[in-house]
Amino acid sequence: MKFADRIEQLPPYLFAQISKKVAAKKAQGIDVISFGIGDPDLPTPRHILDALIEAAAEPANHRYPETEGLPEFREAVARWYERRFGVSLDPAKEVLSLIGSKEGIGHVALCFIDPGDVALVPDPAYPVYEIGTMFAGGSAHTMPLLEENGFLPDFDAVPADVANRAKVLWLNYPNNPTGAVADIDFFERAVHFAKRHDIAVCHDGPYSEVAYNEYVPVSFMQAAGAMDVGVEFHSLSKSYNMTGWRIGMCVGNPRIIDALMRVKSNLDSGVSQAIQRMAIAALDGPQDCIAEHNAIYQRRRDRVVEALRKLGLKVTPPKASLYVWAKVPDGMTSAQFAERLLDEAAVIVTPGNGYGPHGEGYVRLSLTLPDERVDEGLRRIAALPALA
């Protein structure tokens, strides 16, 4: 067999590697506690499941969906953006359904990137921005996210020739993995930069509903001019505990939405209509579940931050997202620290360098495991001798 070069170049997906480590420990009979992937342990709310049960019995939903999504789904997304962010969207031209936002994030590179092209990608970042670029034959110019800059990229640090060649700018706030947040002013600077260099902005915003202490994240689409230059990828996964159902959306610039629709309709057959009915129930239904989930995550966040600080680790409580981003003890790398927790405490954390070289020196702890597992994991970490 002769595989494509890209398969040789393709690193294993970060969480696939971690899952393998967990499976290997479990096979040895070890009880592993995972602060790894951000995959809500809380169930999908009842009224959303009820919509699925009803939709599953409806023969129209047993057939192929349209790639762009049901008109009712796209209308529900537009209503939600209006209510939540005051952003008006044309459901026919400015909203597209996705089989989870990861799928759209991976595919959108095919709309912009020809072999040899450049995308501006934050570092550290969700790995799919760079992998999608690579699949399309392009390469990433990375923009360091530094703690001293609030984990925001410095657009002025992008060399002018790179900025002029770049076709896509990736952003993601509330941020994975750092938990950092951005305000409208930052997004407007991004729009300005994108207009100056004729770059499309792809903002990934799946954590906009996971926020703490009254903090309310904004959408990139609220920035003046955002619709001219970009789109936002969003998802039902983190807001409504729906990771397993695979549904998300891309909203914004109609030319980008049309290009992504053309790519997707040639490659996939859309989101199951019964799942779209769940999403409609989620977006149009009662929203109290969001505050309830956030209260649970906030308690976990506070416990994790307190426990890590007691061990001498430097950590800032995130205002939003499902993640605590902590500095590893001096003299250790991210991987060494993560290995030590796994080998000596059977606790999984994600090494920061898995998100790019500027993630080195950090680990990420996800808050999506039951309270008693959080407590047990923290007890095990605290029991390790001379950690910090």
Residues near ligand MLT (CB under 6 A) are: 37-39, 102, 126, 176, 366
Q: How far is the CB of 114 from ligand MLT (least distance, A)?
A: 26
- Cα–Cα distance, 6 to 386 (Å, whole number): 43
Q: How far is the CB of 102 from ligand MLT (least distance, A)?
A: 5
The tokens describing 309, both together, are 């600080």
Which strand (E) or helix (H) includes residue 76?
helix 71-85
Asked if 118 and 158 count as a contact pair (C-beta separation under 8 A), the reply is: no
Nearest to ligand MLT of 102, 293 (CB atom): 102
Nearest to ligand MLT of 74, 102 (CB atom): 102
2, 141, 288, 295, 304 from 373: Cα distances, Å:
45, 39, 25, 17, 12
Rounded-to-10 torsion of CA 74, 75, 81, 87: 110
Q: How far is the CB of 383 from ligand MLT (least distance, A)?
A: 26
Asked if 377 and 347 count as a contact pair (C-beta separation under 8 A), the reply is: yes
Asked if 238 and 38 count as a contact pair (C-beta separation under 8 A), the reply is: yes
Nearest to ligand MLT of 126, 193 (CB atom): 126
- Cα–Cα distance, 372 to 110 (Å, whole number): 43
Nearest to ligand MLT of 264, 364 (CB atom): 364
Nearest to ligand MLT of 43, 312 (CB atom): 43
Rounded-to-10 torsion of CA 228, 233, 238, 244: 160
Nearest to ligand MLT of 91, 104 (CB atom): 104
- Cα–Cα distance, 312 to 307 (Å, whole number): 9
Q: How far is the CB of 352 from ligand MLT (least distance, A)?
A: 12
Q: How far is the CB of 367 from ligand MLT (least distance, A)?
A: 11
187: left (phi over 0), alpha (psi -120 to 50) or beta: alpha
Nearest to ligand MLT of 102, 264 (CB atom): 102
Other beta carbons within 10 angstroms of residue 339's beta carbon come to 14
- Cα–Cα distance, 74 to 352 (Å, whole number): 36
Residue type, 55: A
Nearest to ligand MLT of 176, 208 (CB atom): 176
Using DSSP, state whether 39 is helix, strand or coil: coil
Q: How far is the CB of 101 from ligand MLT (least distance, A)?
A: 7
200-204 and 168-172: which strand pairing?
Answer: parallel
Q: Whose CB is nearest to ligand MLT?
A: 38
Q: How far is the CB of 39 from ligand MLT (least distance, A)?
A: 6
